Amino acid sequence: MHKDQLLVKAIEIAAKTHEYQKRKSTDIPYIVHPFEIAMILQRNGVEDQEILAAGILHDTLEDGNLQVSDLEKWFTSRVKELVLLASEELEGRSERPWDKRKAHTIEAIKSLNTDVKLIVCADKLSNARSMLRSYEKIGDQLWDRFNAGFTDQQWYYDSLVESLKDMESYAMYQEFKETVQRIFHRKGE
């Protein structure tokens, strides 16, 4: 596939995969999240079309109904690998408790290459931005939307900041770190 067509195909597949999904407990179409990730990556100097495509597709396996074989059929092996590495471990996911899955994710991030960490950092920033917007609207009711409450989410996001620390030369990491601080370490409240 020609590199110019790669992003168009990724957008098409992600839009179809997430067509009827909404962001957690909102009316926001899910597809906004993968598009935001691509914008974050581009604003941080990423021009590599395969990284951008993988950023758009990153949740199609984890939160959509796409299979690895679909990625193999439609995209390069590198795009498939980037998506797989940026996804939470898929095997046995539904049976594992939230804290065990997240602890595995935190450890796995530390050994990822920079291309995958770019996607992960953009993803976590997008999620943190969404959390902050929701928190500013509904306050502590936000934590009712998640499988884990404030304390567990705080542990997870603080651990993500630490796991992604070698990305600190990127503006998205700095914004992620600041956003996590604003959500979980509010002064005077």
Question: What is the per-residue pLDDT across 125-156, written as a single tens digit (0 to 9) for each?
Answer: 999 999 999 999 999 999 998 889 999 999 99
Distance between CA atoms of 45 and 171, rounded to whole angstroms?
10
For each of the domains in the chain, give its residue range(s) and CATH number, in order of start.
3-184 (1.10.3210.10)
- Which residue in 101, 96, 48, 97 sits closest to 76, CA to CA? 48
Residue 189 has pLDDT above 60, yes or no: no
* pLDDT score recorded for residue 167: 98
Mean pLDDT of the chain: 92
Is the CB of residue 160 less than 8 Å from the CB of residue 108? no
